[in-house]
Amino acid sequence: MKITQTKTPEDFKNIKKKELYQLWYIESYTDKQVAKMYGVTAEEVKNKRAEFDLTMWKASWLFMLGGEQWKDARKAEMRKKKAEEKRKKEAEKYTKKYLKSKDTKK
pLDDT attached to residue 14:
95
The percent of residues above 90 in pLDDT, for the chain, comes to 36
Q: Are residues 16 and 55 in the same domain?
A: yes
pLDDT attached to residue 60:
83
Q: Are residues 83 and 56 in the same domain?
A: no
Q: Are residues 29 and 58 in the same domain?
A: yes
Q: Are residues 4 and 32 in the same domain?
A: yes
The total domain count for the chain is 2
Q: Are residues 36 and 77 in the same domain?
A: no
Q: Which contacts qualify for 71-79: CB closer than 8 Å, 24 or more apart?
A: 71/26, 72/22, 72/26, 73/18, 73/22, 73/26
pLDDT attached to residue 74:
66
pLDDT single digits (tens) 33-57: 999 999 999 999 999 999 998 888 8
Q: Which residues span the domain enclosing 40?
A: 1-70
Q: Are residues 21 and 63 in the same domain?
A: yes
Q: What is the mean pLDDT of residues 52-67?
A: 82
CA-CA distance, 25 to 57, in Å (whole number)? 11
Q: How confident is the model at residue 94 (pLDDT cuts 50, 70, 90)?
A: confident
Q: Are residues 1 and 46 in the same domain?
A: yes
Q: 18, 29, 4, 103: which is closest to 59 by C-alpha? A: 18
Q: Are residues 21 and 62 in the same domain?
A: yes
